[in-house]
């Protein structure tokens, strides 16, 4: 189980992740066929999945507000 204290910890675990503002991160899955947007509460140790879908579906979503 990962325990991330800050965005740099998440990036160290998943180098291809894109770290966004407001505790959000975008993870590429299955060779970038799919994308997962998560809101990460570092202090609480909570990861809230906000979106999961194909790369095409991801293009229709605002990752900063999803």
In the predicted model, residues of the chain with pLDDT beneath 50 are: none
Give the 3-state secondary structure percentages of the chain, helix then strand then coil, rounded to 5.
15, 40, 45
Report the Cα 59 to chain-centroid distance in Å: 15
| pLDDT given for residue 1 in this prediction | 75
Report the Cα 7 to chain-centroid distance in Å: 10
Name the pTM for this structure: 0.91
């Amino acid at each position: 189980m990962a325990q991330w204290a800050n965005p740099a910890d998440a990036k160290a675990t998943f180098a291809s992740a894109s770290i966004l503002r407001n505790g959000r991160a975008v993870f590429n899955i299955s060779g970038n066929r799919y994308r997962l947007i998560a809101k990460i509460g570092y202090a609480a140790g909570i990861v809230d999945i906000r979106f999961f879908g194909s790369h095409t579906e991801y293009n229709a979503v605002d990752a900063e507000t999803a």
